[in-house]
C-alpha cells in the first residue's frame, strides 16, 4: 500500500511513518517542517530507502497536495496545530491551518480519487465531560471549550459531509476518526523521540527538569476532586497509538466510517507522573505549586471498549514507568532534542 502521511516529520507522524515502513508499505511524507524536524526526514529516508519519499509543502497548497497524492492509496492526516493555550491567543491561525488545511487536503483527495482517510482527532472535542461520562466513550457529547478542540471537531464534521457527498455521487470514501488522549513515550529502539519547542507536555517537561534544563515543574492546582488533589489524564504510548492507526487503516474500506477513542482507560495523576519520572530517572525533579488553569477538567480518562471489541486493539505499553523509560532513553541520548534549542 502507498500511504501519504501529512505531518510525517512531527512527533506522532514520524512514528507512524516508521511503523508503515517497517510493515513494508510505501510512504510519502508531506510536511512544511514548521513544527516537524529535518532530522526525522533523514532518519526515515535512511530506513525506508526507495519506499520513502519526502515532499515539503503546506496543507493550504492544494495543487502541491494533489501532485503528492499521485498513486496514493490512503492518507493518514496528522498535520495540525495542537497547543490549547496558543489556540486561544491566535484562533485565526488554528482555524486556518486545521480546518482550512483539512479542506485543502480533502479537495486534493477528491481530485486524485484517493478513497481512504485516517484522521488524527483529539479528546479535546469532548470539552469538559461531566463526571458521570468518565471514562469517555465515543457517544459522549462533543462540546469543545477552546479553539483547538473546536477546529478539530469542525474537521470531523467536514470529513463526514464530504464522505456523504461522495456516497451520493457513487464514489465511496472511507474515513476513520481517531480521538486520542495524552500521547507520550518514544520509539523503544530510540530512533525517534518527542521534541517540541516550546514544550508543553508533562512528561517531557519532567525529564527536562531531571536533566537540569528547567529549574522546576509547576503543578497547576493540588485541590482538585481527585484522590491526590492533582489532575488525572489518560496517557497512551505513541507506538500503541500508531498501532491503532495501522489496524484501522487495514480495516478501512472505501465507504466505511470508523470512529474510535484511543487510550488505555487508566488515568494517572500529575503527582503519579511526577513520582514515576523521579523513580525512572533516579534524579530529583523539583516542583512548585501553581494556581489552577481555567478550563482544566479534573479528570479525562478514555474508555477503550469499542476499539478493543471491534479491532482487538489494546495498549501493549500501558505501564506508566514503561512509557517514561522509553522517553528517558531517547532524551538522555538527545538532551537537546533533534538539535534545536530547548528551554
In the chain, what are the domains?
Answer: 2-183+235-262 (3.40.50.720), 202-233+266-333 (3.90.25.10)
Mean pLDDT of 208-221: 96
| CA gap 255, 169 in Å, rounded | 12
Q: What is the pLDDT of residue 72?
A: 98
Q: Which of 11, 148, 260, 338 is catalytic?
A: 148
pLDDT at residue 341 tops 70:
no
Q: Using N-to-C axis directions, what is the helix angle for 101-112 and 147-168, rounded to 10°?
A: 20
Lowest mean pLDDT among 83-87, 278-282, 300-304: 83-87
pLDDT at residue 343 tops 70:
no
Mean pLDDT of 319-328: 98
> Are residues 157 and 99 in contact, defined by beta-carbon separation less than 8 angstroms?
no
Lowest mean pLDDT among 79-83, 126-130, 138-142, 197-201: 197-201
Is 148 catalytic? The answer is yes
Strands (E), 85-151: 116-122
- Contacting residues for 134 by C-beta, under 8 A, at least 6 apart: 299, 300, 301
Mean pLDDT of 216-226: 95
Residue 123's Cβ-count burial label (10 Å; 0-12, 13-18, 19+) is buried
Q: Using pLDDT thresholds of 50, 70 and 90, give the confidence band for residue 228.
A: very high
Which stretch of DSSP H or E encloses residue 236? strand 232-237
Q: What is the pLDDT of residue 340?
A: 52
pLDDT at residue 342 tops 70:
no
> Are residues 128 and 76 in contact, defined by beta-carbon separation less than 8 angstroms?
no
Tally of CA atoms within 13 A in the half-sphere of 150 that contains its CB: 11
Q: Could you tell me the three cell numbers for 184?
A: 507520550
Q: What is the pLDDT of residue 174?
A: 97
Q: What is the pLDDT of residue 303?
A: 96
Number of neighbours of residue 179 by Cβ within 10 angstroms: 25
> Are residues 184 and 327 in contact, defined by beta-carbon separation less than 8 angstroms?
yes
| CA gap 140, 90 in Å, rounded | 28
Provide the percentage of residues in the chain whose pLDDT is more than 70: 99
Please provide residue 317's backbone torsions phi and psi, each rounded to the nearest 5 degrees.
-120, 55
Query: 115 preceded by cis ω (within 30°)?
Result: no
Mean pLDDT of 107-134: 95
> Are residues 108 and 65 in contact, defined by beta-carbon separation less than 8 angstroms?
yes
pLDDT at residue 184 tops 70:
yes
Mean pLDDT of 143-172: 95
Q: Using pLDDT thresholds of 50, 70 and 90, give the confidence band for residue 337.
A: very high
Mean pLDDT of 181-202: 93
Nearest CA-CA partner of 128 in 110, 114, 141: 141
Residue 24's Cβ-count burial label (10 Å; 0-12, 13-18, 19+) is exposed
The predicted-structure confidence for 11-23, as pLDDT tens digits, reads as follows: 999 999 999 999 9
Provide the percentage of residues in the chain whose pLDDT is more than 90: 92
Q: What is the pLDDT of residue 254?
A: 87
Q: What is the pLDDT of residue 198?
A: 84
Q: Using N-to-C axis directions, what is the helix angle for 202-210 and 320-333, rounded to 10°?
A: 50
pLDDT at residue 56 tops 50:
yes
> Are residues 302 and 234 in contact, defined by beta-carbon separation less than 8 angstroms?
yes
What's the mean pLDDT when you consider all of the chain? 95
Amino acid at each position: 500500500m502507498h500511504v501519504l502521511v501529512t505531518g510525517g516529520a512531527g512527533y506522532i507522524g514520524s512514528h507512524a511513518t516508521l511503523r508503515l515502513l517497517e510493515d513494508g508499505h510505501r510512504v510519502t511524507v508531506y510536511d512544511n517542517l514548521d513544527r516537524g524536524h529535518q532530522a526525522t526526514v533523514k532518519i526515515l529516508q535512511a530506513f525506508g530507502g526507495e519506499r520513502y519519499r519526502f515532499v515539503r509543502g503546506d496543507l493550504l497548497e492544494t495543487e502541491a497536495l494533489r501532485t503528492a497524492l499521485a498513486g496514493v492509496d490512503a492518507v493518514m492526516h496528522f498535520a495540525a496545530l495542537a497547543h490549547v493555550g496558543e489556540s486561544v491567543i491566535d484562533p485565526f491561525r488554528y482555524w486556518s491551518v486545521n480546518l482550512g488545511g483539512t479542506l485543502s487536503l480533502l479537495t486534493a483527495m477528491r481530485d486524485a480519487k484517493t478513497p481512504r482517510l485516517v484522521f488524527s482527532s483529539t479528546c479535546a472535542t469532548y470539552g469538559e465531560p461531566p463526571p458521570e461520562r468518565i471514562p469517555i466513550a465515543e457517544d459522549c457529547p462533543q462540546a469543545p471549550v477552546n479553539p483547538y478542540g473546536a477546529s478539530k471537531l469542525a474537521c470531523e464534521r467536514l470529513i463526514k459531509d464530504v464522505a456523504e457527498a461522495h456516497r451520493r455521487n457513487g464514489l465511496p470514501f472511507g474515513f476513520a476518526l481517531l480521538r486520542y488522549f495524552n500521547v507520550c513515550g518514544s520509539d523503544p529502539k530510540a530512533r525517534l523521540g518527542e521534541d517540541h519547542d516550546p514544550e508543553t507536555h508533562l512528561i517531557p517537561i519532567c525529564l527536562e527538569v531531571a536533566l537540569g534544563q528547567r529549574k522546576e515543574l509547576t503543578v497547576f492546582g493540588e485541590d482538585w476532586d481527585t484522590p491526590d488533589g492533582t489532575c488525572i489524564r489518560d496517557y497512551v504510548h505513541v507506538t500503541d497509538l500508531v498501532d491503532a492507526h495501522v489496524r484501522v487503516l487495514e480495516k478501512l474500506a472505501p465507504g466505511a466510517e470508523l470512529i474510535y477513542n484511543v487510550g488505555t482507560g487508566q488515568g494517572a495523576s500529575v503527582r503519579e507522573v511526577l513520582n514515576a519520572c523521579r523513580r525512572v530517572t533516579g534524579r530529583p525533579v523539583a516542583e512548585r505549586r501553581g494556581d489552577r488553569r481555567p478550563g482544566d477538567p479534573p479528570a479525562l480518562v478514555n474508555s477503550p471498549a469499542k476499539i478493543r471489541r471491534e479491532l482487538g486493539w489494546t495498549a501493549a505499553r500501558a505501564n506508566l514507568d514503561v512509557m517514561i523509560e522509553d522517553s528517558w532513553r531517547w532524551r538522555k541520548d538527545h538532551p537537546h532534542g533533534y538539535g534545536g534549542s530547548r528551554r
